[in-house]
Amino acid sequence: MTDRKEFRDLAPPEDAHDAIASLDLGGGTETVPLREARGRVLAERIDAELDVPGFDRASMDGYAVRARDTFGADEADPARLDLVGEVHAGAEPDVTVEDGTAAEISTGAVMPPGADSVVMVEKTDEADGGEAVLVRTALAPGDSVMLAGADVAAGERTLGPGTELTPREIGLLSALGVDEVPVRAKPRVGIISTGDELVRPGADLNSDAGQIYDVNSYTTATAVEEAGGEAVLYPHAGDDYEEMEDILTEAASECDLVLSSGSTSASAVDVIYRVIEERGELLLHGVAVKPGKPMLIGRLDGGDSPSAYVGLPGYPVSALTIFRTFVAPAIREAAGLPEPRAATVDGAMAVEERYAEGRRRLMPVGLVEDEHGDTLVYPVDKGSGATTSLVEADGIVEVPAETEYLAAGESVTVQLFSPDVRAPSLYAVGEDDPALSRLLDRLDRPRSLSLGTREGLRRLRNGVPDAAVAAGDPEVAADHEDLGGWTREWGLLVPENNPDDVDGVADLVDDDLRLLNRGTNSGLRAALDDALDSLAEERDTARRELTDAIDGYELTVKAHESPARKVLAGDADAGLGLRATAAKLGLGFVSLGEQDVRVLANPDRTGKEGVTALADAVANVGSVLADLPGYESA
């Protein structure tokens, strides 16, 4: 039996920051073409090597003149000047302005020799058939002229080291004729996901063998690039020691920092810590934070010099949270980038949240605005392994280890996953339904969680979401605002042509058929249970007697299409679902009735813009039901 590697004493989060700060994450400088310099950070000062503009130029259309020739001129007594030619932008002047003369000039054109000012064309009149011009205002030297170097003077300090290059700075450097710039080198970060079960997105997936798509590689790579690093993806490593050693050392030889995700927990099959200890130096194993306890920090020998190494947790939300908290700041510092601007938002807890594990908690949270536009914060906790939490969570609230609970209404600061995060226009929960999905497509930035009718109503009663979608015959309390709804035909999904001649729920009880059911929160599950109650009453027996006789009654899936896909795959003889789903996937359908679907609003949010938009969409729901078989406006 293999000995398990136990976590060392969990280190305080401050020690993890210090350990990462002690690592060399690269840096240095490189020269890049100006066209590719956006978002990079200057490594050196850049001084102007020429005047901008490099010549005296006219700042408007008019006539180049000698100012002293216009002294005393006004509307009643204009100065008459002979025209000696024209000067156009981009051309070298071929005329000279002498006493008593003027030259027509375009905006941006080089001032001709002898001229020291420009009179705008609106203050002049032609004379002598275009041979002369009458100037009806007096000028001073320099009027309407931009002198050489007025914008940037040669030798002037223009941009200093540490400047982040935005379109504004790119424009300035372009004006100086700079075609390449010295910038801080991006840390090169190797990314490795571990686990025999992983498959890169786009490749074939064998779910029967327990394979899952690799979420962390692309997620972490994007986060690395957002922090200012250069992400390098390596093949995922299995749980074999030699394979993992080869990939890790290859990455260490080519990168400043190696990030792995997974294989950092105290398990006999997790071998990364052995590679680090034998091929480098393990500085830290385990941090007193949640999520992210199984974190590794060390150095890995890949060749000429050791590379920095950080092992992230395997669950996507945990990996992203730990990266953002501990690793991203170090990458930004190495790249010379400042902390993101406006990366936090203050809000009030929407509900009470209890916590008593004795570790600092990095709590994923979502944002919703109340009827006044104030920000409410609610926990997002579907388990660390839930991929959907990546998009349901807007940021984290850091909860100190000694905190036992956060009270509803308590002020908290949310560290946003991105400065671009905004609260959704609408936060809806409840029943999974294809008509609802189409309605939401008509709204701007909605967030909808498919939690089922029962859970949706519970959360609506708690006052957090803006709306809930309920199917069946829920007891719509007086404090719910009914926005309207529709009906849908529900029943049993069976293989095409119904080879088992399923006629209703009695066949599930009496025949050797395997059912795939929906979870107890689903409105469809409630409808099936009502049908079984009716059958139990007819047979003068308890419903439990019937459900015990149904093969698969306790086997439940989450979404409305999930039973259908199991039937298509031959894993079930019947599934609970909708006529619209059967039509979409080419299955047979045994109708068991119609079910009401209602859209219910939080009564405190009826004036919120997102809720009024939802109400308008529900009022016009008929337009999305036309090609959904079994659906009707209510």
What is the mean pLDDT of the segment spanning 522-531? 95
pLDDT per position as a tens digit, 428-470: 999 999 999 999 999 999 998 888 999 999 999 999 999 999 9
Are 350 and 322 found together in one domain? no
Whether residues 48 and 61 share a domain: the answer is no
Q: Check pLDDT > 90 for residue 630.
A: yes
Between the alpha carbon of residue 281 and those of residues 272, 306, 488, the distances in Å are 12, 9, 62
pLDDT at 342: 60
Separation between Cα atoms, residue 248 and residue 302, nearest integer Å: 8
Count of structural domains within the chain: 5
* pLDDT for residue 385 is more than 50: no
Whether residue 4 lies inside any domain: the answer is no
Please give the share of the chain, as a percent, with pLDDT higher than 70: 94
Distance from C-alpha of 124 to C-alpha of 142, rounded to nearest angstrom? 18
Is the per-residue pLDDT at 337 higher than 90? Answer: no
Residues 6+ apart with CB under 8 A from 372: none
Average pLDDT over residues 605-633: 94
pLDDT band at 2 (very low <50, low <70, confident <90, very high): very low
Confirm whether 124 is domain-assigned: yes
Q: Using pLDDT thresholds of 50, 70 and 90, give the confidence band for residue 321.
A: confident
The parent domain of residue 63 ranges over: 57-146
* CATH code of 440's domain: 3.40.190.290
CA distance 551 to 240: 40
- Average pLDDT score, the chain: 89
On the question of pLDDT at 233 being above 70, the answer is yes
pLDDT of res. 476: 60
Is 235 inside any structural domain? yes
The pLDDT assigned to 265 comes to 46
Domain contains 134: yes
- 496-505: average pLDDT: 95
Residues 440 and 412 in one domain: no
CA distances from 12 to 232, 326, 621 (A): 30, 12, 54
Higher pLDDT among residues 475 and 191, named by residue: 191
Q: How confident is the model at residue 387 (pLDDT cuts 50, 70, 90)?
A: low
391 close to 411: Cβ distance less than 8 angstroms: no
Per-residue model confidence (pLDDT) at position 16: 92
Answer whether residue 149 shows pLDDT above 60. yes
Does the pLDDT value for residue 157 go beyond 90?
no
pLDDT at site 210: 81
Q: Are residues 176 and 265 in the same domain?
A: no
What's residue 384's pLDDT?
A: 44
User: Considering 403, 423, 443, which residue would you say is the last residue of a domain?
Assistant: 423
CATH number at residue 133: 2.170.190.11
- 6 assigned to some structural domain: no
Answer yes or no: is 247 within a domain: yes
Report in angstroms the alpha-carbon separations of 158 from 44, 47, 231, 452. Answer: 11, 5, 32, 60
409 or 305, greater pLDDT: 409
| Final residue belonging to a domain, choices 423, 445, 475 | 423
Q: What is the pLDDT of residues 73-99, one digit of tens each?
A: 999 999 999 999 999 999 999 999 999
490 and 501 share one domain:
yes
Cα(351)–Cα(354) distance, integer angstroms: 10
> Are residues 511 and 390 located together in one domain of the fold?
no
pLDDT digits (tens, 9 = 90+) for 242-258: 888 889 999 999 999 99
Rounding to the nearest 10 degrees, give the CA dihedral for residues 67, 72, 76, 80. Answer: -40
Same domain, 34 and 66: no
Assess whether 392 and 457 both reside in one domain: no
User: Residues 525, 614: one domain?
Assistant: yes
2 domain residue, yes or no? no
Look-up: residue for tokens 């996901």?
Answer: 193
pLDDT at 306 over 70: yes
254, 308: one domain: yes
Q: Is the model's pLDDT at 10 over the cut of 70?
A: yes
Co-location of 366 and 387 in the same domain: yes
CATH number where 38 lies:
3.90.105.10
Among residues 304, 335, 366, which one ends one of the domains? 335
Instruction: Please answer whether residues 595 and 528 qualify as being in contact, where contact means their C-beta atoms are separated by less than 8 angstroms.
Output: no
Contact 15, 284 (CB under 8 A): yes
User: How far apart, in Å, do the first and last CA atoms of the chain sit?
Assistant: 64
Cis before 338 (ω within 30): no
170-174, 226-230, 421-425, 472-476: the lowest-pLDDT one:
472-476
What distances in angstroms separate CA 250 from CA 191, 192, 277, one per listed residue? 11, 11, 16
Residue 360 lies in a domain: yes
Residues 6 or more apart from 462 whose CB is under 8 A from it? 350, 351
CATH number at residue 410: 2.40.340.10
255-303 per-position pLDDT tens digit: 999 999 875 544 433 677 788 888 889 898 888 888 777 788 999 987 7
| 498 and 611, same domain (yes or no) | yes
